[in-house]
A = this chain, B = another copy of it.
Amino acid sequence: MSAAADSGATVTAAVLIIGNEILSGRTQDVNLNYLAKRMAALGIKLCEARVVADIPEEIIGAVNGLRARYNYVFTTGGIGPTHDDITSECIARAFGVPLIRHPEALKILERHYEPGMLNEARLRMANTPDGAVLIENPVSAAPGYRIGNVYVMAGVPKIMQSMFEGIAPTLSHGAPIQSRTVGAHIGEGVIAKGLGELQAAYPDLDIGSYPFFRRQRYGASFVIKGTDRSRIDAAAGRLHELIRSLGAEPVDGELPE
C-alpha cells in the first residue's frame, strides 16, 4: 500500500473538523494536533486544516474543495445519533451519491446494542454514502468510513484516535518527516539574520523559529525538519555554532518549561 514511499512522491492531506462546539469555544479541539503528529511520523504532509459549522453547504463545500486538492481528507465529528450529526448526509451530497443503510454497519450495531435498544436514532449511525468502506470503531462500535479519498471519523478524541490507528497502516505515504530541536536563551531578533542564511543554505529543510518566555527568560526553540537525517544533523551543527557565535549556549531539545 505504500507505493508512494517507494517513488519518493509527497502524499498530501487536509483535516476537516466539523462542529459548532469548536467554533463556539465550548470545546478545545485536540484532534488536529493528534492527526498532525501522526501524519508527520507516517510521512504524510498535512497541508491545511479547516473548522466548519454544522451547516450542510459549509461542510459540502469544504469536503469538495479539499478532496480535489489533496491526496487524503480526514474529517472529524458529526457522525453520532443526534439531530446535529449531519456529516454523513453532507458527504453523500458532496459525492453526489445516495445515503444508504450500510448492511455491515447495521450488523455491527445489531451486535452491539441490547435487544430493543437499537432505535431509529441509533440506526442513523448505520447510514453512509453509497460506496463507503467502513472504518472500525473499537471503542463504541458505530463505525466511520472511507469514500474516495475522504476518511470520515468520529469527533470524540479516543474514538477518532482508535479509528485513525486502524487505517494508518493502509495509507500511502512519503518518507517520514524527521526533526531536531535546538533551544537557546537568545532573542529571535538577534539570531534572525544568521538563521535566514542557514535556511537559505539548506533549502531542502524547513527551519522554524518559535519564541518563548519561560522561567522569566526569553528564548527560542529552533526546529529543523526534513526527510534526510544527515542533512538535519549538519544544519543542527551549524546552528549550534551560530548560537555560540552570538554568545548564547545551544541546548539539544526544548529548554525546560
Contacts and interface: CB of A to CB of B under 8 A. Distances in A.
Contact of A23 (B49, B58, B158): B49
Contacts of A58: 47-48
Contact of A53 (B28, B47, B52): B47
Interface stretch (A31-39, A87-95, A143-151, A231-239): A31-39
A215 to B, nearest CB: 15
A47 B81 CA distance: 24
Contacts of A68: none
A27 interface: yes
Contacts of A117: 189-190
Contacts of A32: 22, 29, 51
A122 B195 CA distance: 13
B29 A46 contact: no
* Size range of the chain A interface in the assembly: 35 or more
A184 to B, nearest CB: 13
A137 to B, nearest CB: 13
A119 interface: yes
A179 B26 CA distance: 10
A49 B50 contact: yes
Contact of A192 (B49, B82, B196): B82
Q: Copy number of this protein in the oligomer?
A: 2
Interface in A193-243: 193, 195-196, 199-200, 206-213, 223, 225
Interface string A1-33: 000000000000000000011111111111011
A72 B243 CA distance: 40
A46 B50 CA distance: 13
Given A21-B208, A24-B46, 17 more contacts: A22-B32, A23-B36, A23-B48, A24-B36, A25-B39, A25-B40, A26-B208, A27-B33, A48-B51, A48-B58, A49-B51, A50-B50, A80-B188, A119-B192, A120-B193, A121-B190, A121-B193
Interface of A: 20-30, 32-40, 46-53, 58, 80-84, 117, 119-122, 124-125, 156, 158, 177, 179, 188-193, 195-196, 199-200, 206-213, 223, 225
